[in-house]
Structure 1
Amino acid sequence: MAASTVPEPVASFIAAVNRHDEQAFLDAFAPDGAVDDWGRTFNGREQIKAWSDKEFIGSHGTLAVEEVETAGDTITVIGDWRSDHANGRSKFVFDVGGDKLAKMTIREG
């Protein structure tokens, strides 16, 4: 499925990730946003940045979107993740609050 079918604000978030734009990546999250990466939770901008520096933006990650599902304020994206840290099909579940991401959960796709 084309990335253009991904609703906002997730579409802009994925574009920021794929161009390794750390500021846009961080700005996509609500101030109290969180990342749950396979059961490890990172809360707030400082923890998200520290995690991302090593495992997400800092590892030159890119996501090729394959499937998208929307249910209320939850957008699920399944795609092929490629980075210097980890590779493979992954499921990204985004809890959206207004125009910001409240939480991103990463699991096996």
Structure 2
Amino acid sequence: MTTEALPPAIADFFDATNAADRARFLAAFADDAVLDDWGHVYAGRDAIAGWNETDNMGVSSHLDVLGFEQQGGAYVVSIQVTGDGYNGGGSMTFSLDGDLISRVVIAG
């Protein structure tokens, strides 16, 4: 599945990760965004940039979108991850503030 049907900021999260485009990745987030990776919380773009280096682009992650659904205003995206870090399936739940990502929750 492609990311075309997702809101642009969420599509940028995936497309930028797969292209290792750090600037585009961070630009998808609101300044005060929060990323929750299995209970490890990263608040703000600087913290999310750190997570990106240790758990995402820094370990050559490739994210395949398998599908998504809207639940109560959030987008729940099913994914498959490959790379030099975590490999396997899971889901990411995205909330938006306007056109930018305000929250991401990563779970299995």
Q: TM-score, normalised by structure 2?
A: 0.91
The CA RMSD over aligned residues, in Å, is 1.3
How many matched pairs? 108
Q: Deviations over 1:78-101 (max 9, x none)?
A: 010112111100101001111100
Deviation above 4 Å: which 4+ runs of structure 1? Answer: none
Instruction: Look up the SS of the partner of 1:65 in the other structure.
Output: strand
State the identity as a percent.
31
Gaps of 5+ in 2: none
Does structure 1 residue 4 correspond to structure 2 residue 15? Answer: no
Question: Hey, what's the Cα distance between the residues in 2 that align with 1:31 and 1:80?
Answer: 27
One-letter identity of the residue aligned with 2:106 = I
Which residue in the other structure is 1:61 paired with? Answer: 61
Which residue in the other structure is 2:85 paired with? Answer: 85
Q: Deviations over 1:16-41 (max 9, x none)?
A: 11111111111111000011000100
**What is the deviation of 1:61?**
0.9
Which residue in the other structure is 1:71 paired with? Answer: 71
* 8 A contact 1:61–1:82 mirrored in 2: yes
